[in-house]
Amino acid sequence: QKEVEQNSGPLSVPEGAIASLNCTYSDRVSQSFFWYRQYSGKSPELIMSIYSNGDKEDGRFTAQLNKASQYVSLLIRDSQPSDSATYLCAILQNTGFQKLVFGTGTRLLVSP
């Protein structure tokens, strides 16, 4: 079982719709969770962090965390073509030091 699992996609949504990206993780000890956006050929850009159960909203983005189910998701409201990118889910693995463990990413395509 991979430590962080994501559907590779592509997830296709029309402009203006809600895009829902999902991630499951296996490490029950992890307390910190992140979503990064990565455009083709570029480096990951941090868009959301979440540390406690529930929802966290920032503009058009909402991160949701359920530690009991080991599940974290990202909702993008009013999706725009510029949101088309790969979204990487990452957990902070605390094994004496802190390193990020990433999923393989979900590719999102927003069509005009």
Partner 1 sequence: DTGVSQDPRHKITKRGQNVTFRCDPISEHNRLYWYRQTLGQGPEFLTYFQNEAQLEKSRLLSDRFSAERPKGSFSTLEIQRTEQGDSAMYLCASSLAPEGEQFFGPGTRLTVL
Site residues, partner 1 (CB under 8 A): 4, 8, 31-32, 34, 36, 42-46, 49, 51, 88, 90, 92, 96-105
Residue whose CB is less far from partner 1, 71 or 102:
102
Q: Which residues pair with 66 in a beta bridge?
A: 71
**Least distance to partner 1 from the beta carbon of 18, Å?**
24
Is the separation of the CB atoms in 25 and 93 below 8 Å? no
> How many Å apart are CA 24 and CA 19, to the nearest integer?
17
**Least distance to partner 1 from the beta carbon of 7, Å?**
13
